[in-house]
């Protein structure tokens, strides 16, 4: 795979394991103490949000501030992009103002085009296809729990074969951990992303959540209908009925196994309240780790580049 190292952070499959481990180590160090000085002083990040966000937006804005830089929000409702200005023109103009661009949008191709046209680094803050920053935060959470050797990790993904599942698959491929997925029929992951991960690591589709969760150190899930799929809510509710992470599923996991969810969550749908609010849940630490991870990504992308 071609490496986007030091240029963009869009797709975990474009970063080799060493680079991902470096980012995770850096995030861990940033969590234990602020870096000296203000390493991103004078630097600006544009944050384009074409979908809603709480964690991604706030962690990125706070992360930039903590590193001495500035982040500015560009929402569809009050930007020309929202009125149809092209990705190309947006990329070329923003590149003349800011040092990096984070974008959350629907079509993954839009991020790829933005990165192609921009002359500054681009960070994927979630697309319909991938959510790489979130899975990095999930990996940091797992490392805190089980130690730094990620090859020993055993992850179960229960539910939709969506952007989160795809980034888990890419992470498994690059970092060499074991991943079991249980997805309802018709809602499995992208076949190409799955095939790539299966060729690189111990990745299997399982017929049921319980089988996927067997001996897992991490059991992870996500909403049944992602942003943009609101009109599928009813059909998905039926298809996903047997795919709730509940106490029965968690009982199959390793005795030390933890539960992760990127949030926002729907208690009583994809996860029982007892699990997400129970002793094995690490969802708030996982959310906190978004901050440490995005700071590491920002430092890596724009911390050392010459200005001007």
| Residues with active-site annotation | 104, 131, 134, 222, 262, 290
Residue 183 CB, nearest approach to ligand NVA (Å): 13
C-alpha distances in angstroms, 295 versus 51, 63, 93, 109, 279?
Answer: 22, 5, 25, 25, 28
Spatial distance between the Cα atoms of 18 and 307, rounded to a whole number of angstroms = 27
Q: What is d(CA 302, CA 43) in angstroms, rounded to the nearest whole number?
A: 8
Residue 301 touches which of ligand NVA, ligand CP, none (Cβ within 5-8 Å per kind) = none
Measured CA to CA, the distance from residue 177 to residue 153 in angstroms comes to 5
Among 163, 167, 201, 281, which residue interacts with ligand NVA (rule: CB under 6 A)?
163
With respect to ligand CP, which residue has the nearer C-beta, 264 or 278? 264
Edge-to-edge strands of the sheet including 218-221? 203-205, 178-182, 154-158, 218-221, 258-261
Give the span between the Cα atoms of 192 and 138, in whole angstroms.
23
Minimum Å distance from CB 262 to ligand NVA? 5
Confirm or reject binding of residue 126 to ligand CP (CB under 6 A).
Answer: yes
Give the Cα separation of 265 and 299 in Å (integer): 30
Decide: helix, strand or coil at residue 112. helix
Q: Answer yes or no whether residue 222 interacts with ligand NVA by CB under 6 A.
A: yes
Query: Which of positions 248-277 make contact with ligand CP (CB under 6 A)?
Result: 262-263
Provide the mask over 237-276, with x wherever binding to ligand NVA is found by CB under 6 A and - wherever it is not. Answer: -------------------------x--------------
- Two tokens, residue 11: 């797709």
From ligand CP, ligand NVA, none, interface partner of 8 (C-beta below 5 to 8 A by class): none
**Which one of 40-48, 51-59, 67-75, 297-305 is the stretch in contact with ligand CP (CB under 6 A)?**
51-59
**Counting contacts by CB under 6 A, is residue 227 touching ligand NVA?**
yes
Is 223 a binding residue for ligand NVA by CB under 6 A? The answer is yes
Long-range contacts of 122-125 (CB under 8 A, 24+ apart): 122/8, 122/9, 122/10, 123/8, 123/9, 123/10, 123/294, 123/297, 123/298, 123/301, 124/8, 124/9, 124/10, 124/11, 125/47, 125/49, 125/53, 125/56, 125/57, 125/60
Site map for ligand NVA, 179-208, x if CB under 6 A? ------------------------------
127 binds, among ligand CP, ligand NVA, none (CB under 5 to 8 A by kind): none
Q: Which segment (115-123, 141-149, 204-212, 222-230) binds ligand NVA by CB under 6 A?
A: 222-230
The residue within the footprint of ligand CP, chosen from 3, 54, 80, 233 (CB under 6 A), is: 54
Per CB under 6 A, residues contacting ligand CP are 53-56, 126, 134, 262-263
């Amino acid at each position: 795979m071609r490496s986007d190292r030091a240029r963009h952070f869009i797709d975990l499959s474009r970063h080799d394991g060493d680079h991902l481990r470096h980012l995770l180590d850096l995030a861990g160090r940033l969590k234990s103490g602020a870096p000296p000085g203000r390493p991103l002083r004078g630097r600006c990040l544009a944050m384009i949000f074409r979908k809603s966000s709480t964690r991604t937006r706030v962690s990125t804005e706070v992360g930039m501030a903590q590193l001495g830089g500035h982040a500015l929000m560009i929402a569809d409702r009050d930007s020309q992009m929202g009125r149809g200005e092209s990705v190309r023109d947006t990329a070329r103009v923003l590149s003349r103002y800011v040092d990096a661009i984070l974008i959350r949008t629907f079509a993954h191709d839009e991020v790829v085009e933005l990165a192609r046209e921009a002359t500054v680094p681009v960070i994927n803050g979630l697309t319909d296809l991938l959510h790489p920053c979130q899975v990095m935060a999930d990996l940091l959470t797992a490392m805190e729990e089980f130690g730094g050797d990620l090859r020993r990790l055993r992850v179960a993904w229960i539910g939709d074969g969506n952007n989160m599942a795809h980034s888990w698959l890419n992470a498994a491929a690059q970092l060499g951990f074991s991943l079991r997925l249980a997805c309802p029929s018709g809602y499995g992951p992208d076949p190409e992303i799955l095939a790539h991960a299966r060729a690189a690591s111990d990745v299997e589709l399982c017929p049921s959540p319980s089988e996927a969760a067997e001996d897992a150190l991490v059991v992870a899930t996500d909403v049944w209908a992602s942003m943009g799929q609101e009109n599928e809510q009813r059909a998905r509710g039926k298809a996903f009925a047997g795919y709730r992470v509940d106490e029965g599923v968690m009982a199959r996991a390793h005795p030390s196994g933890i539960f992760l969810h990127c949030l926002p969550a729907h208690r009583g749908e994809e996860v029982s309240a007892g699990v997400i609010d129970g002793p094995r849940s690490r969802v708030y630490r996982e959310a906190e780790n978004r901050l440490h991870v995005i700071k590491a990504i920002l430092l890596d992308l724009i911390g050392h580049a010459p200005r001007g």
